[in-house]
Structures are given as C-alpha cells and as structure tokens.
Structure 1
C-alpha cells in the first residue's frame, strides 16, 4: 500500500457538520477498499486563490491515507460525482506526517499571539 495526502474543497454554502459527514464518507470508501485514513484536518472556510463558478470561498480539509491505488481511484470517481466537492487533489508521498499541517500550525501560532 502507498501513502497519500488528499485535500478537497467543499462548497461554502454547506455547514461544517456536512463537511465532517463528507470526511466520514471518504473514510468509509477508503476502508471498504482495505485502506486506512490516518490524520484528518478541517482547515475551515477559506478564500480560494481564484473564483470557481463565481464562488470565492470553500471548506478545506486534509486527509492522510494509507491505501492501495484502487481505493484512490474509487475515491476520485466518487468525488467527481459529488456536487458538494468543488475541487480535490490526491498526492502520493513517501511517508505520512503526524505533525499538524502548516495551515493548522500557523493558525495555532496566530491564536497564541492574539491571547498575549
């Protein structure tokens, strides 16, 4: 099995709870195909780099996946069908990091500065 980092952007008009349900669905797809989802992070509602169909914001999420290639192909197929997902990208990596992503680390650092 290989290691993957998967990031997706969901429509801004759905709630964070619906994004969490989408993450659970992705986890079920991966586990059905004999894979595992390690760390999952919700990055929140963020501005997009460029508008997609006149939409300027989206819910970002990151998942670390340990799965065979067939599981990733099935995940890609299902996310292309899903109307709630605007964009998604899966990248194969050498190893999975258990540390917080730079997005979460920066957010935590900014929160600490505001408290001081």
Structure 2
C-alpha cells in the first residue's frame, strides 16, 4: 500500500482532547478502508501565517498513513465536511519517517539550547561597571 503524510489544522477553540477524538474518528475511517495510521504527532496550538476562517492559531497534527488511496480520499472528504478542521494537506511519500518529525526535533533542540548568559553574550555586566556617562560622546543639541 502507498504511504502518505497528512497535516491537519483544527480550530483554536477546540480543546486538545476534542482534537484527539477527531483524529481517532479519522483513523477509524481509514481502518474501514483497509488502511492504518503508523504515527500520530500532536504539534500543539501554533500561530498560522495568515488568517484562515477568522482564526489566527490552530492545533497542528501530523499523521503518517499506510493506506489505499480510496480510504485517504474518504478521510479527506469527511474532514472537509467537519467545521472544526480548517485545512488538510495530504502528500504521498516513498517511505515513512522513523522517529520524530522535523517539527518535533526543532521543538526539542530549542529546549536544549544554552541560555544567552551561558553563551558569553552577557559578559558586559551592569551599567555602572561600564564607566561614567561623561566619558561618552554627546549628541549635539541645536543646529551646531
């Protein structure tokens, strides 16, 4: 069977458990068509680049699918009828990725980055340690 990656955007007013039940319903539609959901990743509530149906944020979900095309089309049809779903993008891929997606890797690496003070940028110290204010050049006042 062919492999697919599907990204779903759900409205921001919907709670996270409601998004999970929505995804479980869509997994049931795929199972009826003979397909399976290999991986589910909840990316959380994120900003959208532009307004979609008066929403500035959406719940993002990634699904890796191993399913026939008829089941995927039926899942997309049912999502288009659901008013909680803002957008759906399904792409056929040659093989499914193992492990976390690029979005989850970026989220994890952001948490592991050293703090700004630890990287050596905060070594200037407080303002009093930089010398008196009189030593600095002044801006000219008036038309001089």
TM-score w.r.t. structure 2 length? 0.77
Which residue in the other structure is 1:41 paired with?
A: 41
Deviation string for 1:22-70 (max 9, x for gaps)? 1111111111111010011000000001111221100000000000011
Query: Would you say 1:59 and 2:59 are equivalent positions?
Result: yes
Which residue in the other structure is 1:28 paired with?
A: 28
1:1-116 equivalences in 2 (<5 Å)? 1-113=1-113
Structure 1, unaligned stretches of length 5 or more? none
- Considering fraction of residues, name the structure with more strand: 1
Structure 2, unaligned stretches of length 5 or more? 119-144
Q: Is the 8 A contact 1:38 1:65 kept in 2?
A: yes
C-alpha RMSD of matched pairs (Å)? 1.4
Q: Is the 8 A contact 2:8 2:88 kept in 1?
A: yes
Q: How far apart are residue 114 of structure 1 and its match?
A: 6.3
Q: Give the number of aligned pairs.
A: 116
Deviation string for 1:52-91 (max 9, x for gaps)? 1221100000000000011011011100100110000100
TM-score w.r.t. structure 1 length? 0.95
| Greater relative CO (CA pairs within 8 A, separation 6+) | 1
Separation in structure 2 between the aligned mates of residue 53 and residue 91 of structure 1, nearest angstrom: 23
